[in-house]
């Protein structure tokens, strides 16, 4: 192959690489900013900043970009889910207590085509009855719960496999 053509193709490939890189948004709901000190017997002692670092390191090894966020506000979570529909290839969502209460979160997930993986640190089915119902599960691509911080890593792998199949 002609050298100039070869270099040109390489440059095009380099530039298009970031476009091909998949992006996952990780959304965390209320009180998850307190992880580490919040009920460690239920949620473990890993902080949210540590979960973010673990998730990013794992995603990087798969060439996936991570945008990691937390809010205590339901409307912000709804805004972020809507945005993810436009800007992300996948969503990992721990809606925390809004999981059990929010039809708005349910409707936001229904409104987007981006796959959403529901994550909970604790096994919500082994806890109080009011945690057994999730407004997220029936509109999620899948659910991971009860594995602590590892659940976020499992969710990255689940989405990576889904996105590869697309
Ligand atoms: C949680 C489980 C929810 O029931 C609870 O309200 C949370 C955290 C979890 O990660 O185990 O805040 O989503």
Q: Is 114 helix (H, G, I), strand (E, B) or coil?
A: coil
Convert the pLDDT of each residue in 102-159 to its tens digit. 999 999 999 999 999 999 999 999 999 999 999 999 999 999 999 999 999 999 999 9
Q: Is the pLDDT of residue 17 over 60?
A: no
Domain limits, the chain: 22-165
13: pLDDT strictly greater than 60: no
Task: Please tell me the distance from the alpha carbon of residue 119 to that of residue 77, in angstroms, as a whole number.
Answer: 15
CATH number of 22-165: 3.40.50.9100
- Atom number in ligand 1 closest to CA 100: 4
> Does 163 score more than 90 pLDDT?
yes
Measure CA 151 to chain center.
10
Q: What are phi and psi of 90, to 5 degrees?
A: -160, 160
Per-residue tokens: 26: 């990780």
Query: Angle formed by the axes of helices 103-111 and 74-87, to 10°?
Result: 10
Q: Please give the average per-residue pLDDT across 62-70, as a whole number.
A: 97
Task: Compute the distance from residue 163 Cα to the ligand 1 centre, in Å.
Answer: 26
CA distance linking residue 77 with residue 69, whole number of Å: 9
Instruction: Please indicate whether residue 94, judged by its CB atom, sits closer than 6 Å to ligand 1.
Output: yes
- Any catalytic annotation for residue 120? yes
Q: Which residue has the higher pLDDT, 3 or 88?
A: 88
Cα of 112 from ligand 1 centre, angstroms: 23
């Amino acid at each position: 192959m002609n050298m100039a053509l070869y270099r040109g193709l390489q440059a095009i490939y380099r530039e298009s690489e970031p476009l091909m890189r998949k992006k996952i948004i990780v959304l965390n709901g209320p009180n998850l900013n307190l992880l580490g000190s919040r009920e460690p017997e239920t949620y473990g002692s890993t902080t949210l900043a540590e979960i973010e670092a673990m998730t990013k390191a794992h995603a990087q090894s798969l060439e996936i970009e991570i945008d990691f966020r937390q809010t205590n506000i339901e409307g912000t979570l709804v805004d972020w889910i809507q945005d993810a529909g436009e800007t992300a290839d996948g969503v990992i969502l721990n809606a925390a207590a809004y999981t059990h209460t929010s039809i708005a979160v349910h409707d936001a997930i229904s409104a987007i085509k981006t796959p959403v993986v529901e994550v909970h640190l604790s096994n919500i089915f082994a806890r109080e009855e009011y945690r057994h119902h999730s407004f997220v599960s029936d509109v999620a691509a899948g659910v991971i719960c009860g594995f602590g911080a590892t659940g976020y890593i499992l969710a990255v792998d689940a989405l990576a496999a889904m996105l590869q199949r697309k």
